[in-house]
Amino acid sequence: MNIAFIAHDKKKEDIVQFVTAYEELLQEHDLYTTGTTGTRIMDATSLKVHRFQSGPLGGDQQIGARIAENKMDCVIFFKDPLTAQPHEPDITALIRLCDVYSIPLATNMATAEILLRGLQRGDFQWREVVKSKENKEG
């Protein structure tokens, strides 16, 4: 599975702790992050991640493009709801794309844990069916 991790500045430590807790599970998957979030995750774990630009410099949009191309299976985005973000339109567009393409999206730690527990149980097999169907049609 292709999993994206994004975190606003005040949530970066939370996402690093979260990824560290699930490091063993995540080793089996392809991980994508926005810039600084990816650096922090790589510094704290042995996980390999593909880093896009930082969010304000287009990283959110790069992940959004992968969603639109059906190349992202899950997005974990630890948002900071108490701080205004200068790139709010990009964030809104990313969330909209997750809705349009039915990509599971967690915006907080509780929901992210539920998604990863489902991934662990095999609940994401439907994504393989979707990708397989698209490859046959395309």
Question: What pLDDT does residue 132 have?
Answer: 73
Count CB neighbours of 43 within 10 A. 8
Q: Quote the pLDDT of residue 59.
A: 93
Q: How many domains does the chain have?
A: 1
pLDDT of residue 11: 97
Angle between helices 35-44 and 12-21 (to 10 degrees): 40
In this prediction the pTM is: 0.92
Domain range enclosing 105: 2-137
Torsion from C-alpha of 20, 6, 124, 67, nearest 10 degrees = -150
Among the listed residues 60, 80, 99, 123, the single catalytic one is 60
Whether 60 is a known active-site residue: answer yes
CATH code (residue 18): 3.40.50.1380
Confidence category of residue 138, pLDDT binned at 50, 70, 90: low
Helix (H, G, I), strand (E, B) or coil at 102: coil
N-terminal to C-terminal alpha carbon distance within the chain: 20
